[in-house]
């Protein structure tokens, strides 16, 4: 792509991973032709990775939808007009609600790596339908971590990798997956500086492990022993931060008694790491001025998911690495993802969190941050239990492809009385739904994410649209407004007074909104849609779907007045909220909305006396079970398959067209030279990969970054990408055709995707 000097550059962001780096693009018609980092973006500051160059494959995918679709009895689809689609969907949901209650409808999604504004409007549809149960991709990765974080800190915390002396990554490969601003620049800085250290826990010599000072190359699935040993060394060698622990924590006596009895050398053997190296790592962490530590899927999608999140936190908390420059800190969210998941995005601020424990209606699975564990969804549907889910509304998510056991997820969707998908493309999930509603792309509407985790200066970026919506598509705000109106919940009567006020300016609107919400219950209840319909028309052309941010800005300045004031949004709350909202609208590169102080990290600890809690008795039985060592594997499945590795060529399922890929095999299975030799295969050969749930033909890539017995497949591939002429291009392996819903964490239900027992065999020519 060559830049055209006469063409203007438009500001937007990359939507491929949660960082959403700011970019500038040139366009030609409806195409994105040139992409570069945006230096004015307050968080990414010009940084991008190679994947940013592929945005046009998302924007102009051949299987993008341009009309609502209705499934026929024979499984094919017919295009229908929007009025018919909205009317029929509203009628059918309403009938289900009347017969079985809103609790018979499951809402799934509302957020992917780049698009969260739609989810703010889904809040209204959920309320109108009386929906009680929700789920999204967080409930297959981060719910265990949220649960542990809630019990230990009462807040989320994020590493300050830019300033830390020691950075530790557990089951996280930031070189490819990113996860903090300007990742590769910061990793290189740490690598170059002799006074700083990088420690990586990963069975694979990942790109990040390759750069590390200490690589704890555990056997797959043994992090719990590795982390327990690190914590035990800290206590047994008396490397813990005693005065800090006494001042800031509770539960040290209880946890240290347990850690004192852990046999470190046995645990070192269990995880396959040299004991001396483990001790070296523990000492480095204890002696550092500052440590930032981060876990991700290698730990969370593995056999000790929730226990691992606990042990990981113990390592940096026993050594006092919290609430200072260079350590983990409590960032100030613009909109809390946990609250939004619970459907509390528009709830009154600072309401004490409800402590009633909720469980899923059929399986009785623990609901964490308001989410049903993804792995139990099929079990909650494929049953004759009277409280089963009978309908699903799915938006901005592709659960047939992304959740465990695609076969079962398909069967579950087909068993529902009604399924509706809102997406930009005819995805694997859309192809099982009764109705598919076409959303316009993230470059055809204002959009943003709430993955704002920076500290001490936290940024938010509202992207302005690059293009008009593709004909036939609508922004989610409009889709939800039409649904709520068709359900008879809102009408012109509710909107008219506020629309008039919006013409008089922001302050008049704010006062009218406050006054009206007291008199008309529906205004507060359906705040997002009301804002879209009344404030939306007064916003610049094409920006109406940004209206819900006005409500979020108002709630934010009230709940975080100090951080907001430091960022320039202080004083009278109504006016501060309006100033913030206007600043968001007028900052095409994004802005800083919160400035924190390290002391704020302590205020954020929402536990008695702002003390961190080190003792989680709920996890003690799991911790004690470690004594007997790892479970022996099933000899029929001698390999451990990590199903879903992030690579330079993966992007969840945001990019469906594999056409950008030019060099080498697409999505190969990585395998060690020793295993390849034993199997008699060479690079590029095909093998049959089988698990307890399925089998696939894989192309192998032999690499000494893998240890014997461990094999790895990329995530987000094996999509059924349909070209305009109907031909289906299938590239790579869909990992969840191979995974099992029952292999999940005992507490959070998170899947063990990084630890799938598997077998490799030559391809049987007759069946290939």
Ligand X SMILES: Nc1nc2c(c(=O)[nH]1)N[C@H]1C(S)=C(S)[C@@H](COP(=O)(O)OP(=O)(O)OC[C@H]3O[C@@H](n4cnc5c(=O)[nH]c(N)nc54)[C@H](O)[C@@H]3O)O[C@H]1N2
Which spans of this chain sit near ligand SF4 (rule: CB under 6 A)?
14, 16-17, 19-21, 48-49, 51-52, 178
Indicate the residue among 112 and 155 with the shorter CB distance to ligand X.
112
Nearest to ligand SF4 of 21, 330 (CB atom): 21
Task: Report the nearest approach of ligand SF4 to the CB of residue 21 (Å).
Answer: 3
Q: Does 735 bind ligand X (CB under 6 A)?
A: yes
691 binds ligand X (CB under 6 A): no
Q: Which of 218, 196, 200 shows the shortest CA–CA distance to 287?
A: 196
Pick one of ligand SF4, ligand X, none as the site partner of residue 52 (Cβ within 5 to 8 A by kind): ligand SF4
Q: Are 644 and 753 in contact (CB under 8 A)?
A: yes
Indicate whether 671 belongs to the interface with ligand X (CB under 6 A).
Answer: no
8 Å CB contact between 431 and 399: no
In this complex, which beta carbon is closest to ligand X, that of residue 138 or of residue 234? Answer: 138
Q: Does 441 participate in binding ligand X (rule CB under 6 A)?
A: yes
When binding is defined by CB under 6 A, the residue of 149, 154, 203, 361 that contacts ligand X is 203
Look up tokens 């900052």; give the residue.
587
Residue with tokens 């693009």: 25
* Residue among 319, 427, 548, 596 that touches ligand X (CB under 6 A): 427
Site string for ligand X, 13-42 (x = CB under 6 A): ----x-------------------------
Backbone torsion region of residue 296, taken as left when φ is above 0, otherwise alpha when ψ lies between -120 and 50, otherwise beta: beta
**Are 47 and 72 in contact, with CB atoms under 8 Å apart?**
no
Q: Could you give the strand order of the β-sheet that contains 31-37, starting from the edge strand earlier in sequence? A: 10-13, 22-28, 31-37
Residue 201 interacts with which of ligand SF4, ligand X, none, CB < 5 to 8 Å by class = ligand X
Residue with tokens 């000492």: 283
CB of 51 vs ligand SF4, minimal distance in Å: 4
Check whether the bond before 456 is cis (ω within 30° of 0). Answer: yes
Binding to ligand X by CB under 6 A, coded x per residue (else -) over 355-394, reads ----------------------------------------
CB of 716 to ligand SF4, least distance (A): 12
- In whole angstroms, how close is the CB of 206 to ligand SF4 at the nearest point? 16
Gap between the Cα atoms of 250 and 562, Å rounded: 27
Tokens, residue 384: 């004759």
Residue from 224, 229, 281, 297 touching ligand X (CB under 6 A): that is: 297
Pairing state between β 69-71 and 31-37: unpaired
d(CA 387, CA 517): 34
**Smallest separation, CB 699 to ligand X (Å):** 18
Partner from ligand X, ligand SF4, none binding residue 579, C-beta < 5-8 Å depending on class: none
Smallest CA-to-CA distance from 119 within 435, 339, 358, 331 is with 339
CB 539 within 8 A of CB 445: no
Query: CB-wise, 450 or 509, nearer to ligand X?
Result: 450
Q: Which of ligand X, ligand SF4, none is residue 20 near (CB under 5 to 8 Å by kind)?
A: ligand SF4
Which contiguous run of DSSP H or E holds residue 71?
Answer: strand 69-71
Binder of ligand X out of 11, 132, 182, 753 (CB under 6 A): 753
CB under 8 Å to 384, separation ≥6 — which residues? Answer: none
CB of 244 to ligand X, least distance (A): 27
Q: Tell me whether the omega of the peptide bond preceding residue 419 falls within 30 degrees of 0, making it cis.
A: no
Q: Among candidates 259, 399, 469, 405, which has minimal Cα distance to 738?
A: 405
Contact set for ligand X, span 458-487 (CB under 6 A): 476
Q: Report in angstroms how near the CB of residue 177 gets to ligand SF4 at its nearest.
A: 9
Q: How far is the CB of 345 from ligand X (least distance, A)?
A: 17
Using DSSP bridges, classify how beta strands 686-691 and 710-714 pair: parallel, antiparallel or unpaired.
Answer: unpaired
Q: How far is the CB of 114 from ligand SF4 (least distance, A)?
A: 8
Contact indicator for 626, 224 with CB cutoff of 8 Å: yes
Query: Closest separation between CB of residue 207 and ligand SF4, Å?
Result: 14
- Tell which residue, 119, 10, 45, has the closest CA to residue 459: 45
By CB under 6 A, is residue 744 in contact with ligand X? Answer: no
* Distance separating alpha carbons of residues 765 and 351, to the nearest angstrom: 63
In this complex, which beta carbon is closest to ligand SF4, that of residue 17 or of residue 393?
17
The whole-angstrom separation of Cα 569 and Cα 579 is 7
Do residues 727 and 663 make contact, with C-beta atoms less than 8 angstroms apart? no
By the rule CB under 6 A, 716 interacts with ligand X: yes
Other beta carbons within 10 Å of 51: 20
118 contacts ligand X (rule: CB under 6 A) = yes
- Least separation, in Å, of the C-beta of 536 and ligand SF4? 28
Mapped onto helix, strand or coil, the DSSP state of residue 435 is strand
In this chain, which stretch among 70-78, 344-352, 485-493, 641-649 interacts with ligand X, using CB under 6 A? Answer: 641-649
Helix axes 143-152, 305-318, angle to 10 degrees: 40
Structure tokens at 454: 């920076």
Contact partner, 439, from ligand SF4, ligand X, none, Cβ < 5-8 Å per class: ligand X
Rounded to a whole number of angstroms, the minimum distance from the CB of residue 481 to ligand SF4 is 30
Asked if residue 106 binds ligand X (CB under 6 A), the reply is no
Whole-number Å distance between alpha carbons of 37 and 47 = 6
Contacts with ligand X, residue ranges (CB under 6 A): 17, 51, 112-113, 115, 118, 137, 140-141, 170-173, 176-178, 201-204, 206, 218, 220-221, 223, 296-299, 301-302, 395-398, 402, 422-425, 427, 439, 441-442, 476, 642-646, 650-654, 715-716, 735-736, 739, 753-754
């Amino acid at each position: 792509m060559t830049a055209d000097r006469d063409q203007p550059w438009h500001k937007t962001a990359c939507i491929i991973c949660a960082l959403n780096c700011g970019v500038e693009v040139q366009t030609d018609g409806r195409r994105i032709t040139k992409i570069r980092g945006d230096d004015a973006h307050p968080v990414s500051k010009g940084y991008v990775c190679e994947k940013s160059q592929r945005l046009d494959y998302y924007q102009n995918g051949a299987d993008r939808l341009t009309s609502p679709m209705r499934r026929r009895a024979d499984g094919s689809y017919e295009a229908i007009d929007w009025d018919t689609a909205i009317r029929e969907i509203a009628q059918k949901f309403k009938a289900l609600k009347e017969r079985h209650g809103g609790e018979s409808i499951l809402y799934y999604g509302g957020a992917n790596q780049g698009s969260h504004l739609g989810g703010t409007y889904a809040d209204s549809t959920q309320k109108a339908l009386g929906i009680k149960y929700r789920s999204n991709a967080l409930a297959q990765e981060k719910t265990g971590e949220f649960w542990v974080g809630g019990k230990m800190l009462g807040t989320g915390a994020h590493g300050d990798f830019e300033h830390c002396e020691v950075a530790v990554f557990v089951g996280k490969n930031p070189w490819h997956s990113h996860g903090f601003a300007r990742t590769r620049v910061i990793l290189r800085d740490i690598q170059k500086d002799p006074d700083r250290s990088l420690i990586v826990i990963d069975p694979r010599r990942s790109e990040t492990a390759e750069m590390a000072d200490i690589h704890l190359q555990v056997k797959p699935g043994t992090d719990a022993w590795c982390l327990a040993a690190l914590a035990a060394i800290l206590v047994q060698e008396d490397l813990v931060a005693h005065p800090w622990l006494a001042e800031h924590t509770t539960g040290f006596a209880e946890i240290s008694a347990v850690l004192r009895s852990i046999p470190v050398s046995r645990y070192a053997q269990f995880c396959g790491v040299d004991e001396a190296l483990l001790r070296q790592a523990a000492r480095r962490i204890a002696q550092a001025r500052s440590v930032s530590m981060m876990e991700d899927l290698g730990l969370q999608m593995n056999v000790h998911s929730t226990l691992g999140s606990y042990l990981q936190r113990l390592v940096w908390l026993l050594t006092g690495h919290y609430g200072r420059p260079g350590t983990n800190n409590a960032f100030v969210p613009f909109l809390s993802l946990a609250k939004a998941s619970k459907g509390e995005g528009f709830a009154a601020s600072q309401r004490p969190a409800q402590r009633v424990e909720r469980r899923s209606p059929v399986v009785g699975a623990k609901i964490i941050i308001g989410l049903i564990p993804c792995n139990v969804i099929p079990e909650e549907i494929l049953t004759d239990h009277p409280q089963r889910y009978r309908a699903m509304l799915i938006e901005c998510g592709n659960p047939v492809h992304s959740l465990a056991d695609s076969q079962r997820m398909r069967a579950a969707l087909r068993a529902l009385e009604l399924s509706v998908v809102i997406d930009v493309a005819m995805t694997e999930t859309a192809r099982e739904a009764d109705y598919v509603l076409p959303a316009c792309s993230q470059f055809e509407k204002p959009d943003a994410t709430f993955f704002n985790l920076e500290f001490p200066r936290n940024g938010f970026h509202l992207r302005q649209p690059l293009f008009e919506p593709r004909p036939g598509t609508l922004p989610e705000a409009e889709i939800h407004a039409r649904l709520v109106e068709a359900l008879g919940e809102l009408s012109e009567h509710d909107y008219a007074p506020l629309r008039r006020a919006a013409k008089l300016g922001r302050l008049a609107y704010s006062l009218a909104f406050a006054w009206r919400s007291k008199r008309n219950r529906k205004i507060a209840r359906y705040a997002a849609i009301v804002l879209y319909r009344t404030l939306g028309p007064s916003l610049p052309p094409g920006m109406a779907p940004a209206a819900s941010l006005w409500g979020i800005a108002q709630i934010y300045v009230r709940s975080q007045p100090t951080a907001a004031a430091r960022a320039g949004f202080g004083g009278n709350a109504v006016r501060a909220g309006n100033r913030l909202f206007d600043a968001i609208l007028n900052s095409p590169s994004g802005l800083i909305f919160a400035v924190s102080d390290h002391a704020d990290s302590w205020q954020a600890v929402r536990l008695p006396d702002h003390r961190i809690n080190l003792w989680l008795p709920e996890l003690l039985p799991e911790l004690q079970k470690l004594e007997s060592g790892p479970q022996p594997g099933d000899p029929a499945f001698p390999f451990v398959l990590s199903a879903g590795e992030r690579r330079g060529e993966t992007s969840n399922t945001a990019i469906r067209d594999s056409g950008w890929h030019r060099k080498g095999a697409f999505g190969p299975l990585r395998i060690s030279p020793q295993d390849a030799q034993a199997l008699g295969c060479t690079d590029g050969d095909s093998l049959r990969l089988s698990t307890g749930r399925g089998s696939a033909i894989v192309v192998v890539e032999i690499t000494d970054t893998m240890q014997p017995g461990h094999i790895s497949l990329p995530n987000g591939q094996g999509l059924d990408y349909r070209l305009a002429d109907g031909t289906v291009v299938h590239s790579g392996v869909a990992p969840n055709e191979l995974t099992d819903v029952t292999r999940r964490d005992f507490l959070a239900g998170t899947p063990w995707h990084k630890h799938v027992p598997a077998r490799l065999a030559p391809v049987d020519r007759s069946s290939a």
